[in-house]
């Protein structure tokens, strides 16, 4: 196999005791993506300048790392350290691939590319290294699409630990949704000091959309499904009694929560005008229109005031439910955190098996 890209123009750089791709590193925080292909990384240096640099990149920036695992002394320990070092929970949007035939070195963003002899490794600063920097954007895009993609397509994806995947999944399922519903229903008054912040149910501003909590019910069903999968997969190490207790409490709270929301949505300020005309037509006899209109307005006002008082009575109940649901979700997440090391350990073993089988 041979890939050729003609007429690539750049600057030839010879370095010693510094990085030939420093200009590429300088663009990391302002780039759309970061791609790195390297034969080796520093696998035994916890304060690696380059690794810490990757951890500081915004989580929205995808980082793709293609790595070989050189054989040698302490090979087994090296593999495990690399796997733990590159565990995704330590980074933002990091995706790691292993390619056991790779000896190429390519460090690039959508702005600039380095091609040369230097690994993405702090130790390589101590060597004489030779490379080329390519700045022309069209050529950078060709390197990305024709060279880096070729390497990636012939590599095996590192499996992020189940703990990290599951926690991201669970967190996204419920937390954002419950906060969104809360913000739509309640108005926050007070500036914290000297007036304490408090949530007020204001019928003129509260927004009741049944689709929102129906969607929340669906998300909770997915949440339960993921929890049950974790329980089934980690029966021997998970405190099943505790997590099941929290799930039962959460289930009861959500059932009551949905019921209270149904009550709150029975009357809304947006129904007032249509209700007024309905009462007017019920009583209108064709004479004394002003009297019948005023009567209709008063009837609707009375209904509104009665409903609003009921809403006020439910305010504390609903706030308490919001708080308890958030607390119970956190309790469930805490139980899963207790088996974090086991979940990561199993994934490391899985990745090590892949690496050994591909060598």
Question: What six digits make up the tokens of 211?
Answer: 């689709």
pLDDT digits (tens, 9 = 90+) for 12-68: 999 999 999 999 999 999 999 999 999 988 755 566 788 888 888 888 899 999 988
Q: What mean pLDDT comes out for the span 286-308?
A: 64
Identify any residues that bridge with 198 across adjacent strands, giving them in sequence order.
189
**What's residue 199's pLDDT?**
80
Q: Between the CA of residue 68 and those of 41, 48, 59, 96, 98, what are the distances in Å?
A: 9, 18, 24, 11, 6
* Spans of all domains in the chain: 11-158, 162-345
Of 170, 181, 333, residue with least CA distance to 254: 181
d(CA 267, CA 16): 74
pLDDT surpasses 90 at 103: yes
| Domain 11-158, CATH homologous superfamily name and number | Endonuclease Chain A (3.30.870.10)
pTM above the 0.75 mark? no
pLDDT range class, residue 81, cuts 50, 70, 90: confident
Lowest mean pLDDT among 37-51, 264-278, 301-315: 264-278
pLDDT range class, residue 266, cuts 50, 70, 90: low
Q: Between the CA of residue 295 and those of 11, 52, 207, what are the distances in Å?
A: 86, 72, 28
Q: What mean pLDDT comes out for the span 215-220?
A: 88
Of 333, 316, 319, 309, residue with least CA distance to 183: 319
168 vs 11, residue with greater confidence: 11
pLDDT surpasses 90 at 112: yes
């Amino acid at each position: 196999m041979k890939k050729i890209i003609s007429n690539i123009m750049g600057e030839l750089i010879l370095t010693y005791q510094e990085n030939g791709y420093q200009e590429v590193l300088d663009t990391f925080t302002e780039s759309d993506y970061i791609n790195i292909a390297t034969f080796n990384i520093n696998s035994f240096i916890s304060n690696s300048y380059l690794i810490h640099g990757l951890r500081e990149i915004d989580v929205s920036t995808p980082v793709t790392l293609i790595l070989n695992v050189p054989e040698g002394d302490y090979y087994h320990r090296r593999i495990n350290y690399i796997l733990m070092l590159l565990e995704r929970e330590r980074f933002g949007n990091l995706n790691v691939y292993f390619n056991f035939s790779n000896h190429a070195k390519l460090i690039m963003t959508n702005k600039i590319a380095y091609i040369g002899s230097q690994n993405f490794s702090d130790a390589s600063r101590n060597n004489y290294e030779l490379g080329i920097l390519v700045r022309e954007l069209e050529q950078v895009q060709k390197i990305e699409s024709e060279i880096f993609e070729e390497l990636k397509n012939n590599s095996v994806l590192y499996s992020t630990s189940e703990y990290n995947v599951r926690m991201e999944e669970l967190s996204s399922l419920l937390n954002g949704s419950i906060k969104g519903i809360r913000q739509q229903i309640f108005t926050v008054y007070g500036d914290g000091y000297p007036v304490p912040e408090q949530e007020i149910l204001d019928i003129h501003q509260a927004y009741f959309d049944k689709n929102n909590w129906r969607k929340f019910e669906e998300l909770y069903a997915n949440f339960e499904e993921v929890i049950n999968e974790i329980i089934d997969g980690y029966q021997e190490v998970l405190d099943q009694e505790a997590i099941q207790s929290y799930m039962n409490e959460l289930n009861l709270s959500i059932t009551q929560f949905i019921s209270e929301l149904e009550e709150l949505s029975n009357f809304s300020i947006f129904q007032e005008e249509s209700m007024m005309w309905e009462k007017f037509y019920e009583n209108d006899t064709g004479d004394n229109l002003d009297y019948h209109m005023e009567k209709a307005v008063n009837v609707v006002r009375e209904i509104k005031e009665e409903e609003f008082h009921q809403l006020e009575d439910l305010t504390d109940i609903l706030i308490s439910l919001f708080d308890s649901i958030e607390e119970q979700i956190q309790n469930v997440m805490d139980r899963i955190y207790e088996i974090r090391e086991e979940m990561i350990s199993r994934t490391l073993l899985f990745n090590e098996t892949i690496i050994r089988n591909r060598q």
